Amino acid sequence: MASTYSPDLQLEIITTGEKAGLWGTITNTNLQILELAASGYLTTAQLATGNLVLTLDNGSASGATTATGKNLMIEVSGTLTGDRIITMPTGAERIFIIKDSTVRSVSNFTIGVQNVGATTGVIPLPPGSTTAYYTDGTTANSMKLLGVLNKGFVTVQNGTNSPYTTVNGDIVLGDVGNGGGGPITVTLPESPTIGDKVSIMDTSATGGFFSNNCTVGRNLQNIQGVSADFVMNVNNQSVSFMYVNATKGWQITSTNQ
């Protein structure tokens, strides 16, 4: 009987009496796969040209080619020219970390993390963040956010990348004095999950939100229980929002005004 492979990291499981003379080689490869899962680090600029398809080939310890999905940490880089998706094969239980070192450009391109074939289990990667994910391998919609390990940020300017639509975990630095100057619009996520968070702050070197407001678009959800956008109109203002339920919508969890 031929070897079989474990469902998650695709370790080669040798059948008794098989693979004579190859046990050492196969065992060493299996140990290398375990090393990838414990401390493997992949850097790739694939998202500059297309989606990143992570792989879990049977018995492979090639962390840069056929076993990219077996690495613990994956750093993505390059300048995006469109929305991108990072996919992990369905059927494997995996915990992994993604560090975003891409340049999103003024077009506000997005990056989503999902299992192959997902329709609802698509998790956004906040710009500049380092984020952990896990999937239990049961369905194509099993991808979940484990946590944001290191928060990044995005600068929003009039005439550059406003309006900007946020994702869970976003920190938005509003600059109304540069990039053409003027008011900006920052829109909250359309289909939030309870506990999602977004922070927005005035970081303008000149002027500020008093003269050039920041409109926080509610995107079909209530803000503080009211079906109206929220206007930030005080210089140096900083507000953090959390989504709590369909009735209250986004609640303010902290503000300096």
Look up the CATH number of the domain holding residue 199. Answer: 2.60.120.640
Residue ending a domain, among 117, 134, 151, is 151
With CA atoms as reference, report the closest residue to 44 among 10, 8, 84, 90.
84
Reading the block at residue 96, the tokens are: 């992994």
pLDDT for res 1: 61
CA distance 6 to 23: 16
Pairwise CA distance, residues 201 & 60, whole Å: 46
Per-residue pLDDT 10s for the chain (257 aa) are 688 999 999 999 999 888 888 989 999 999 999 999 999 999 999 999 999 999 999 999 999 999 999 999 999 999 999 999 999 999 999 999 999 999 998 999 999 999 999 999 899 999 999 999 999 999 999 999 999 999 999 999 999 999 999 999 999 999 999 988 999 999 999 999 999 999 999 999 999 999 999 999 999 999 999 999 999 999 999 999 999 999 999 999 988 87
Q: Please give the tally of structural domains in the chain.
A: 2
H/E stretch holding 171 reads: strand 171-175
**Last residue of a domain, which of 151, 180, 201?**
151
pLDDT for 166: 98
Based on C-alpha coordinates, what's the Rg of the chain?
A: 22
Domain membership of residue 17 (yes or no) is no
**Are 93 and 143 contained in the same domain?**
yes
- In the numeric block, the tokens 């359309």 are attached to 190
Provide the strand spans (E) within 180-248: 184-187, 197-202, 214-217, 230-232, 238-245
CA distance 194 to 203: 28
Residue 157: inside a domain: yes
- Domain co-membership, 135 together with 51: yes
Which residues have C-beta within 8 Å of that of residue 234, sequence separation ≥ 6? Answer: 202, 208, 209, 210, 257
Whether 103 maps to a domain, the answer reads yes
What's the token pair of residue 27?
């065992």
- Is 8 a domain residue? no
The neighbour count for residue 194, using CB atoms within 10 Å, is 9
3 lies in some domain: no
- Judge whether 13 lies within some domain: no
- 53 with 144, same domain? yes
Do residues 142 and 158 both lie within one domain?
A: no
pTM above 0.85, yes or no: yes
Pair 199, 220 in one domain: yes
Question: Do 143 and 34 share a structural domain?
Answer: yes
Claim to verify: residue 191 and residue 80 sit in the same structural domain: no
Q: Token pair 């938005």 is at which residue?
A: 172
Confidence (pLDDT) at 17: 84
Given 124, 151, 178, which residue is the final one in a domain? 151
Sequence-distant (≥ 6) Cβ neighbours of residue 66 within 8 angstroms: 55, 57, 60
Residue-number span of the structural domain to which 75 is assigned: 23-151
